[in-house]
């Protein structure tokens, strides 16, 4: 029941992260994703990641992270024969996804108008930094640049450290998720659809209350550090051994917290008598709370507060959280043994979704470059002899 897209074929022309992350979601829901890569070099992500040996094998960690389950076909789209083979694949495809700079597909004579004339039901999704039109359409876009332009860096960190880059490529991943959502919506209608995804706009949409507080209430967005600006006490506190997040956002949660840390006296203090008062005197209140918990173990206190209805949790590293039983129980990680091309066992993440109590999964590991040329192009009538000739001529 997790193969909700089992009858869908997607041609994935994307590179590095935003587009591959989009198709990573779709392949886990059962779509057949054929990754179209340039002969010889493939997706740039094949050469990116922390393991240089894998990079040299064109199976870099950055590629392994979001390409499991896909098929790799190499086509030189600048070669007329490569372009013709791609157009043949388009005839039987449901979706084309690309994240080239605007104009590249037009120069390849593979524009939306060209492709929809070949396939009247095609969904075409273009992911770019700033959209396919508008005054910034031609600007090159990387996640770092988009983060800065979006205002996200300006509100990340605290007054002393902002602006700060978010610690992972949030523009690419949010752009990819936005594209996957739009593709699924378009597939529901089963007719030719052009989808234009802007990474910049995708990030701005997710700022939610921050952007709305400016648009509606005129409140200037400011860096808040580890504090929740909507309530207090709600943020990060230093316990005896490590940092602890506490979110006592409701009045009853605040009262429970104060009593549990033996500071019921704070409930009678006029500076902490209401939510707005506590927000105004946040620093002083945080000092009192940290003084009360300085000899407590963060994990124990988090468990106690959670059991009392006060949301709390220790601040973990990524290795910490991946060792927690909840990750295994939810089926977030996929295991692949003896992966072709690297002869290693690897783990990758799936989607963070469960369908009918089951985590969507794929059977095959990330593919070697061109691993599915014979399978996919064979469907077009290309035999082994012609495959060899096309390969020798740099077409595939």
Residues tagged active-site: 172
Tally of CA atoms within 13 A in the half-sphere of 327 that contains its CB: 13
The Cα-based distances of 269 to 132, 202, 231, 251, 277 in angstroms read 57, 44, 17, 14, 10
Placement of tokens 């590095």 in the chain: 16
Nearest to 354 by CA among 379, 374, 329: 329
Would you call 7 exposed, middle or buried from its count of C-beta atoms within 10 A (0-12, 13-18, 19+)?
exposed
The answer to whether the beta carbons of residues 111 and 90 sit under 8 Å apart is no
**156: alpha, beta or left, given left = phi > 0 and alpha = psi -120 to 50?**
beta
- Alpha-carbon distance of 23 to 14, in angstroms, equals 9
Contact indicator for 148, 204 with CB cutoff of 8 Å: no
β-bridge pairing 234-238 and 243-247? antiparallel
Distance in angstroms (rounded) separating the CA atoms of residues 14 and 44: 10
**How many CA atoms lie less than 13 Å away from 223 in the CB half-sphere?**
16
Report the distance separating Cα 11 and Cα 38, nearest Å: 14
| Pairing relationship of beta strands 333-339 and 344-349 according to DSSP bridges | antiparallel
Candidates 304, 278, 282; CA nearest to 293 is 304
For residue 313, give the nearest of 302, 325, 300 by alpha carbon: 302
Tokens describing residue 59: 């199976």
């Amino acid at each position: 029941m997790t193969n909700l897209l089992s009858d869908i074929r997607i041609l994935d022309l994307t590179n590095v992260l935003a587009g591959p992350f989009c198709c990573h979601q779709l392949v886990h829901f059962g779509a057949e994703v054929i990754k179209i890569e340039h002969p010889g070099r493939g997706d740039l992500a094949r050469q990116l990641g922390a393991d240089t040996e894998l990079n040299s094998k064109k199976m870099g960690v950055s590629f392994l992270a979001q390409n499991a389950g896909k098929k790799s076909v190499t086509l030189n789209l600048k070669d007329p024969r490569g372009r013709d083979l791609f157009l043949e694949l388009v005839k039987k495809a449901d979706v084309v996804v690309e994240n080239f700079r605007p104009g590249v597909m037009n120069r390849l004579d593979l524009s939306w108008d060209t492709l929809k004339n070949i396939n009247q039901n095609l969904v075409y999704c273009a992911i770019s930094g700033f959209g396919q039109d508008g005054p910034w359409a031609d600007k090159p876009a990387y996640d770092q640049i988009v983060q800065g332009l979006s205002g996200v860096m300006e509100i990340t960190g605290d007054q002393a450290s902002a602006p700060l880059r978010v610690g992972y490529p949030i523009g690419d991943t949010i752009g990819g998720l936005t594209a996957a959502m739009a593709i699924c919506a378009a597939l529901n209608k089963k007719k030719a659809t052009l989808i234009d995804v802007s990474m910049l706009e995708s990030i701005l949409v997710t700022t939610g209350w921050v952007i709305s507080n400016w648009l509606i209430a005129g409140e200037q967005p400011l860096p808040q550090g580890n504090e929740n600006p909507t309530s207090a006490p709600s943020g990060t506190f230093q316990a005896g051994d490590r940092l602890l997040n506490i979110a006592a956002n409701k009045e009853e949660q605040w009262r429970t917290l104060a009593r549990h840390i033996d500071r019921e006296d704070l409930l009678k203090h006029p500076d902490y008598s209401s939510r707005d008062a506590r927000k105004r005197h946040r620093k002083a209140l945080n000092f009192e709370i940290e003084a009360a918990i300085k000899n407590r173990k963060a994990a124990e206190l988090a468990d106690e507060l959670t059991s009392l209805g006060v949301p709390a949790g220790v601040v973990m590293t990524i290795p910490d959280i991946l060792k927690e039983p909840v990750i295994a129980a939810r089926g977030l990680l996929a295991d692949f043994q003896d992966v072709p091309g690297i002869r290693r066992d690897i783990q990758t993440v799936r989607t963070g979704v469960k369908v009918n109590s089951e985590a969507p999964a794929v059977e095959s590991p990330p593919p070697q470059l061109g691993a599915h040329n014979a399978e996919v192009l064979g469907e077009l009538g290309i035999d082994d002899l012609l495959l060899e000739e096309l390969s020798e001529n740099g077409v595939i």
